[in-house]
Structure 1
Amino acid sequence: MTEANRTSNAHVSTVQLGELATGQALTAPIYTFKGSDSAAPSVYIQANVHGAEVQGNAVIHQLMTLLEGHQILGDIHCVPLANPLGINQKSGEFTLGRFDPITGVNWNREYFEHAAIVADIPNWYQANKALSNNELFAAFRVLLAQSCQQRLNNSWGISTGHQLAVTLQSMAHQADIVLDLHTGPKSAKHLYCPEYDVASAAYFSIPYSLVIPNEFGGAMDEAAFYPWWQLQRFCARQGRHFDVPVAAFTLELASQERVDMADAELDAMGILAYLSHRGVIAEKVQPAPMKRWGCDLANYKKFHAPKAGLVEYCAEVGHPLKAGEPLVTLLRLDQYGTENAMTTISLPCDCVPVLHFASASVHQGTELYKVMTKVFEIS
């Protein structure tokens, strides 16, 4: 579709994320809705960093469709199809694009920590403490953008995956709100939410939240909020108090290799409710009436296959499981006729299974399930 026959309010551009071996530019589209209020929060949303995790693209489509009917106050930048290399990494009918095929590194663990900036916050603040809060935030944002650019221009070069990730990160650093849309293998919807911002989980149309430490672990959400949280914490020790200026979340939108447009609209409405709460749009959008539950990341447990075999996944994701109820049944045809041919396994505690491995054929030690334990209600 050419710009001449478009009827959308979104401006379309592209970002170059690298180059293919044959020399062609590797690009992703950017859709920008320009806000009318420069004081309103700005938003960056991306999807499909992992190749098989396509539902986030459908959510972006539904969200942009909804935005056409709202008064937009803050700038909103949407980047679907954010990892063309991963998206096109196919084997037969399956998409393998979770790991960089060159290095084997998870595409979502390639972001830049800004360790030097974080370590130098005391000196940087001393040189900038006379600035107002808004001026301080603007200066810190410039610092982060410059750091990304220096990383991209490293004279020794950087890996393909790091090039792609830091390019995306440099765009995210321009926003006050960062949403990274993912899915699991076979998964219930869940939200990764930093400790300092748990209350925000009540706005998204997502029943389960993993409350993560205010630390950097390599993912986009952490890369976006971690330097700001460090700045806020240091300033608080100096007697200067303000909320963490940047909010960042990872939304896990059920299972990979799946597009469901009706479900995508529900999740888009949840994002719209959050944007309404933050003043990004003028209209009031109420969050979906639903129970929301949380779990500290330390209580998010992995269950690994005690032996190899064929697996029946008995526990339904997103549904509470009582201690002792069947989690999986392992079938070993090489041991047919013995008591070891079929084994039912349960867990010793109550939990909520959140996701499970996609394949029914597993090695010993395969991560079969991730489950929430010590679950609490989020008001």
Structure 2
Amino acid sequence: MQPNITSIPILQLASGDVLSLQVYRFQGGTGPKVYLQANLHGAEIVGNAVIHQLLKWLTPLEPHQLNGEIWIVPACNPLATNQRSHYFSTGRFNPYDGKDWNRIFWDYEKETEDLLDFARSHLHLDAETVQRHYRARIQTQFDRLRDKLRSPASAPLSEHYRFHLQSLCLDANYLIDLHSTSNQGLDYLYYFSGREDSAKLFGLDSGILLDRYDGDAFDEAFIKPWLALERCFAQLGREFRFDLEAWTLELGAGMQMNPISVHRGVLGLQNYLIQKKIVQGVVLPQPISKQQMYLTRTSQVKKYYSPYGGMVYPKVALGTSVQQGQVLYQLLIFNKQSYCPTQIEVVAERDGIVYDLASNQAVNTGEYVLATF
């Protein structure tokens, strides 16, 4: 089954060159839509290798083996992917306004004011009808953003970009955003309320429940309106779990395509598509067992920032379980006074697992060093 491949222009440069998205569409029978993208942050390239292997896995399938459709967008932020400083990819922040590329997306939940009324008027309807009507409301409101882009005053780059990207996924059932840390990191995922069982399908060791939000991230903007509607129905005494899911997979380190992280990402996606019955009649050569998964919350994440400027000697490795009071790193502190450099120890404020380490071990006061969950 060959994908339908299209290019979507998203940005014209002053030179006349045009940056575009490449979209691969696999179409099967009637069923759910899966949307998968990678490289939203410029340095986080590992997802492109995952997508390459997934494309090779999907192509030999027959149309009857695909229940629904899968849309795949590698290198989904070409401007960020091409940002450089010396040999280093940056691409986390929009150079025009300084905003994080993954904190710019349109969130319908922030605009709707009558969600409880909507739930009340749909209280006795079936889930499929509710989902269809609510999706139509979201789409209608989203389409109005186009008018601003086409107006004489137009809009900033981030608004053009988000419109193009979100227009590809608003009608999806399952959204998967492939990332990595910009530093050194474990393989884990972010998930949302009520989706714990599905989180285990990816076969990763750890997952972080988003019980608080940084705001306007791609996965949040997709799923938050549906979570809000589920809460409204719960207020009215009806439990709803829409068959919609959003995931961010964090696979290893930035600027790298670590083979182990790539393999785990590919295997997890394959298993997810099979277990969700999107892909049928396929058995994985390396099945994912229903393993125990370490689940925590964003409110339990602890980030450590350097209290002084200096050089970091790490005392813990990625994946290390640490206890309160254990030394995390030593900081070598220089000075412009008449005495030798000093060294201090920084200890863990609470128990946790080290899941992210800064790549740069030279820090100024207040710069990020590591994180535990």
Q: CA deviation at 1:33?
A: 1.1
* 1:172 pairs with 2:169: yes
1:365 is matched with: 366
Q: CA deviation at 1:263?
A: 3.6
Counterpart-to-counterpart distance in 2, 1:35 and 1:76: 9
Counterpart-to-counterpart distance in 2, 1:148 and 1:171: 12
Contact 2:212–2:298 (8 Å) recurs in 1: no
Q: TM-score, normalised by structure 2?
A: 0.89
Q: 1:135 to 1:290 in 2, by over 3 A?
A: closer
AA of the residue aligned to 1:299: Q
Q: TM-score, normalised by structure 1?
A: 0.88
Q: Percent identity among equivalent residues?
A: 26
The answer for unaligned runs of 5 or more in structure 2 is: none
The answer for unaligned runs of 5 or more in structure 1 is: 1-7, 373-379
Q: 2:13 aligns with which of 9, 14, 20?
A: 20
Q: Deviations over 1:73-94 (max 9, x none)?
A: 1201111100011011111111
Q: Deviations over 1:209-247 (max 9, x none)?
A: 111127672111111111111122223434444313310
AA of the residue aligned to 2:168: M
Q: CA deviation at 1:166?
A: 3.0
Q: 2:88 aligns with which of 94, 116, 120?
A: 94
Contact 2:226–2:242 (8 Å) recurs in 1: yes
Q: 1:23 to 1:144 in 2, by over 3 A?
A: farther
1:306 is matched with: 307
Q: Structure 1 stretch 90-99 or stretch 253-262: which is displaced more?
A: 253-262
2:32 is matched with: 41
* 1:55 pairs with 2:46: yes
Q: CA deviation at 1:206?
A: 1.7
1:213 is matched with: 211
2:129 is matched with: 135
| 1:1-379 equivalences in 2 (<5 Å) | 9-36=2-29, 38=30, 40-70=31-61, 71-115=65-109, 117-125=111-119, 132-154=126-148, 155=151, 156-184=153-181, 185-213=183-211, 217-261=215-259, 263-282=261-280, 283=282, 285=284, 286-288=287-289, 290-334=291-335, 341-372=342-373
Contact 1:196–1:214 (8 Å) recurs in 2: no
AA of the residue aligned to 2:8: V
Query: Aligned to 1:234, what secondary structure does the other structure show?
Result: helix
- Cα RMSD of the aligned pairs, angstroms, is 2.4
Counterpart-to-counterpart distance in 2, 1:76 and 1:287: 21
Q: Structure 1 stretch 154-163 or stretch 309-318: which is displaced more?
A: 154-163
Contact 1:228–1:245 (8 Å) recurs in 2: no
Counterpart-to-counterpart distance in 2, 1:320 and 1:16: 46
May I ask how many residue pairs the two structures share in their alignment?
363
AA of the residue aligned to 2:269: I
AA of the residue aligned to 1:345: V
